[in-house]
Amino acid sequence: MESVRFPGESDQYRQAREELLQAELDLRRRVEAVAALRRRLPVGGVVPQDYVFEELAPDGGEKSGVRKVALSELFGPPRETLILYSFMYGPDMEEPCPMCTSLLDGFDGTAPHLQQQVNLAVVAKSPIQRIRSFASSRGWRNLRLLSSAKNTYNRDYHGESPEGDQNALINVFVRRAGKVHHFYASETLWADTEPGQDPRHVDLFWPLWNLLDLTPGGRGSDWYPELSYDR
């Protein structure tokens, strides 16, 4: 492999960088191997009901009225896959989760590209008007926003604990022969963590942490996103 050099670097730096590069190549191979395992999952269980969510017209504003949409209607032909993100914004929460908000800030920009291949929606337990109001304050324009306030989706698919606490979770559904099946969930949320690590169950899909991992300071030991910053 041809070595790349940058201005002013020492031989010591280049040697350390080459060692890191080998580790990065190993990681790339492992990431693809895990992705291949994920793609080979058999379809999971058929959803127990065609959950009915509430949403507002995409471009109608908050005065457009509430309409009902079933889970099966979230599949737009020819896209037979649906990514559904559980947003931690329950009716008893004064503010939505800052971590979810940071992730969805990025998803909003990614959505038009992603939706060329799959369907994407965001679901939260709060009333739909409250969800849309917050989304407007963030400048979100591309996310399909749903309320699960009147169904059991959150509880059934672990976007909510038995005690009613909200969980951030990605669920993937597929439609096969007219039936909707569960396919994948970010289940590392419940796996044991090693010292100094959070569950990181959605970090693979979150550019913030991946970019910070490139820096000398890394993620920091106690920093997390906030809804707003003074600087």
Residue the block writes with tokens 């419940």:
190
Give domain status of residue 168, yes or no. Answer: yes
Is 99's pLDDT higher than 70? yes
> What local confidence, expressed as pLDDT, does residue 86 receive?
97
Q: What is the mean pLDDT of residues 138-160?
A: 97
Give domain status of residue 18, yes or no. Answer: no
* Nearest partner of 172 among 161, 160, 162, 157, judged by Cα: 157
Crossing angle between the packed helical segments 128-138 and 98-114, to the nearest 10 degrees: 80
> What local confidence, expressed as pLDDT, does residue 222 receive?
83
Is 62's pLDDT higher than 60? no
Instruction: Report whether 69 contacts 53 (CB < 8 A).
Output: yes
Q: What is the mean pLDDT of residues 7-22?
A: 95
User: What span, in angstroms and rounded, lies between the C-alpha atoms of 120 and 133?
Assistant: 20
Is 141's pLDDT higher than 60? yes
End-to-end CA distance of the chain: 43
Whether the link from the prior residue into 78 is cis, omega within 30° of 0, is yes
Is 132's pLDDT higher than 90? yes
Give domain status of residue 87, yes or no. Answer: yes
Cross-sheet strand order for the sheet of 119-124: 66-70, 52-56, 145-147, 119-124, 81-86, 169-176, 179-185
Token pair for residue 158? 């672990």
Give domain status of residue 221, yes or no. Answer: no
> What local confidence, expressed as pLDDT, does residue 219 receive?
87
Q: How many domains does the chain have?
A: 1
Strand partners of residue 85: 122, 170
Is 90's pLDDT higher than 90? yes
CATH number at residue 78: 3.40.30.10
* Digit-coded pLDDT (tens) for 194-220: 887 778 888 888 889 899 999 999 988
> What local confidence, expressed as pLDDT, does residue 1 receive?
59
What is the percent of the chain with per-residue pLDDT over 70, rounded to a whole number? 96
Give domain status of residue 219, yes or no. Answer: no
Is 89's pLDDT higher than 80? yes
Residue the block writes with tokens 């971590």:
99
CB atoms within 10 A of CB 98: 14
> What local confidence, expressed as pLDDT, does residue 204 receive?
85
Domain of residue 95, residue span: 52-187
Is 192's pLDDT higher than 90? no
* Entry field: residues in the chain: 231
Is 60's pLDDT higher than 70? no
Give domain status of residue 224, yes or no. Answer: no
What is the percent of the chain with per-residue pLDDT over 90, rounded to a whole number? 80
Q: What is the mean pLDDT of residues 167-196?
A: 92
Give domain status of residue 156, yes or no. Answer: yes
Mean pLDDT of the chain: 92
Beta-carbon contacts of residue 170 (< 8 Å; ≥ 6 apart): 83, 84, 85, 86, 184, 185, 186, 201, 202, 205
> What local confidence, expressed as pLDDT, does residue 59 receive?
55
